[in-house]
Amino acid sequence: MAVVTLNAVGKTYPNGFEAVKPSSFTIADGEFVVLVGPSGCGKSTLLRMVAGLEEITAGALQIGEREVNDVDPADRDIAMVFQNYALYPHMTVRKNIGYGLKNRGTSTDAIEAKVQEAAKMLNLTELLDRKPSQLSGGQRQRVAMGRAVVRDPSLFLFDEPLSNLDAKLRNQMRIEIKALQRRLGVTSIYVTHDQVEAMTMADRIIVLNGGEIEQIGTPAEIYHSPASTFVASFMGAPPMNLIEAWIEDGAVRVNDGTLLASSGNRTVGPVHLGIRPEDVQLAENGQIPFDISIVEELGARRLLHGELGGQPFTVHVGKDVPATAGQTTVHLKPESLCFFDPKTGKAT
């Protein structure tokens, strides 16, 4: 296990494109950190710099007590699990899992013992003599994880390992990866574009956008106290409602004059008001009109999509709350409101 420290680490390509702006953070020993963001935000590039597969063009990277900027990937004591599994099709599961140990000159008996231990841990014991072509997607991903586990690395790196799996299998593998990491206690960095994976798996989340860090925090911090409108709209399914509003005379109002909330001591002027859909309540005696256009049935819950103050708005209610298309009124929980600067997008 190891502490990972990035001190102003950045990546600029020869053509001048800055893929990752100088970024600094520390990952604690045994921590599970998820890098999340849209395609092209720099998360995989950042992971590849940690792995040694991309040259670091700025700053310093430490794994444990050692700076590894110029250390070869094979000498960084890491194990990486890729999106495409990267298994040898002509080898059995047993040989795929033990291949890295064989290259390191580990004895045959020691390899077999480690392979058996990993296979038992990952429910692969009955599959050791099969080839990858005879396995399902989830089984192949377990083999790739087994190959990483047997190396006893100080750092696990996961590059979108569940992207090729169907929704049900992704849910199952998500739980298995998290349980495995907890059992082994190995420091882990996990890259995904899926905010649900990030929220359910991470000890801490690092949200990236355009090559720079938007926010670092626990899933609860990221969800309930987003640092910007980007984080508010990217994290959460459905995302946070963002309403263009105006602060004046101690009140927050939309353009038609509808009172949304008290503004406290906030500065007069335009503001973006944010609230999660589940923090909005249908209220017969509410003062905020909400025009429902679509009721989305999701089994245990309902999403009500419509307009508030002429702007798109979503309300999340339980399955037993009656709701139909048409106009109603809502109440916003004051303790759940977030305020953002309309120019910078940053929380105020």
Per-domain boundaries in the chain: 4-233, 238-340
The chain-wide mean pLDDT, for the chain, equals 93
**Euclidean distance between CA atoms 302 and 273, whole angstroms:** 23
Q: Is the entire prediction scored with pTM above 0.85?
A: yes
pLDDT, position 228: 98
Is 338's pLDDT higher than 80? Answer: yes
Band of the pLDDT at 263, cuts 50, 70, 90? Answer: confident
Q: Does CATH number 3.40.50.300 belong to domain 4-233?
A: yes
pLDDT, position 173: 87
Write the DSSP assignment of 106-156 as a string of letters.
--HHHHHHHHHHHHHHTT-GGGTTS-GGGS-HHHHHHHHHHHHHTT--SEE
Residue 161: asked if its preceding bond is cis (omega within 30°), the reply is no
Among 214-218, 258-262, 284-288, the range scoring the smallest mean pLDDT is 284-288
Band of the pLDDT at 286, cuts 50, 70, 90? Answer: confident
The CATH number, out of the four listed (1.10.645.10, 2.130.10.10, 3.40.1350.10, 2.40.50.140), of the domain defined by the range 238-340:
2.40.50.140
pLDDT, position 257: 87
pLDDT, position 265: 85
Which residue in the block uniquely carries the two structure tokens 């396995």? 135
Is 1's pLDDT higher than 80? Answer: no
Residue 268: both structure tokens together? 């007069």
Among 20-34, 245-259, 333-347, the range scoring the smallest mean pLDDT is 245-259
How confident is the model over 279-284, as a mean pLDDT? 92
pLDDT, position 264: 84
Higher pLDDT, 323 or 273: 273
Distances in whole angstroms, Cα of residue 126 to Cα of each of 93, 180, 298: 10, 19, 38
Band of the pLDDT at 211, cuts 50, 70, 90? Answer: very high
Is 27's pLDDT higher than 70? Answer: yes
pLDDT, position 165: 82
How confident is the model over 65-91, as a mean pLDDT? 91
How confident is the model over 59-67, as a mean pLDDT? 95
